[in-house]
Chain A
Amino acid sequence: MYTFFLSKIEVGSHLYINITENLHLHGETIIVSSFVVSLVSLFLILGSQNLGKIPGGLQNFVEVIYELIKSIAITQMGPSYYGQFLPFVATVFLFVLGSNWAGALIPWKLIEIPAGELAAPTNDINTTACLAILTSFTYFLAGFKIKGLGYFKRYIKPSVFLLPINIIEDFTKPLSLNFRLFGNIVADELTVSVLVSLVPILIPVPIMVLGLFASSIQALIFSTLAAAYIGEVIE
């Protein structure tokens, strides 16, 4: 009797690209991120060629997406300031949605890389941490740009006793954004890989569909929260 590996699960192995001795990059995350960015850019560029008064086909689809993101931005940031930050919210939404769905739908296993596996780039905590820190920077810069130095009054806003809580909140906001997105994507990928290692046929499909739904909700949540944090600082 002999055994052979049908499948195995490994967490934490990456394809390391060494720039200098102490600095290395995660290759598989960068490959899939670049793919997602170029795909989304291509889709948007093609959708805005030859704009017609009555949209048809691709332009129609791009306009639907634009209306969705604009409704998020207007609801959270108010009609007078949403235009300045709409590109940021749209970038975050499209990148997170594109990377989650690209990780779940495209058969990356067909491409063999020397170490690690190609999957959604948001399953790397560095990607989600970067998005969360960018969001944090953006609402700081929004506060400084629109309110100047009066921005610091926000810390004693309802009452002075809430000053330590407001300062701690400045750290927990990006932390929670980070872990929410990372945890959701990694949990979905781990569940699907464990199920596939147990029953490779048909059973993992409902979990994969749930994963698609949940990851699109997470993209919506991330962009809504980013817009809400900016709106909270602006008003």
Chain B
Amino acid sequence: MVDSLIAAASVIAAAVAVGFAGIGPGIGQGNAAGQAVEGIARQPEAEGKIRGTLLLSFAFMEALTIYGLVVALSLLFANPFVG
């Protein structure tokens, strides 16, 4: 019975981890993209630099979502409390 409790809790925790991990970076990346598009609209010849900086910033923000995914994966596939 303890085993099913641990399993259920792990599944819920994994889902909540991925769900909440998507909120903050989603808002942040949307903001960054909006400002980048505004910058391009204001000065179209700086498009190359703006795009490069934008992609670099996206990768940093994406890493925060990935941390949540890693926690979820470790709960599902490498759970230290099971077995």
Contacts and interface: CB of A to CB of B under 8 A. Distances in A.
Interface of A: 11-12, 176, 179-180, 182-184, 186-187, 190, 217-218, 220-221, 224
Given A180-B59, A182-B70, A183-B70, 17 more contacts: A12-B77, A12-B78, A176-B63, A179-B63, A179-B70, A180-B63, A180-B66, A183-B67, A183-B69, A187-B66, A190-B73, A217-B59, A218-B59, A220-B56, A221-B56, A221-B60, A224-B56
B62 interface: yes
B55 interface: yes
B-side interface size class: 10 to 19
A221 B62 CA distance: 11
A104 B67 CA distance: 22
B77 A183 contact: no
Interface string B69-83: 110010001100000
A167 B70 CA distance: 24
Interface in B37-58: 55-56, 58
Nearest to B73: A186
A229 to B, nearest CB: 14
B78 A184 contact: no
A179 B55 CA distance: 19
B67 A221 contact: no
A186 B69 CA distance: 10
Contact of B62 (A184, A186, A220, A224): A184
12 contacts: A11-B73, A11-B77, A176-B63, A180-B59, A183-B63, A183-B67, A184-B62, A186-B73, A190-B73, A217-B59, A218-B59, A221-B60
Contacts of A12: 77-78
A184 B59 CA distance: 10
A224 B53 CA distance: 12
Nearest to B63: A180
A184 B78 CA distance: 18
Given A12-B77, A12-B78, A217-B55, A187 B63 contact: no
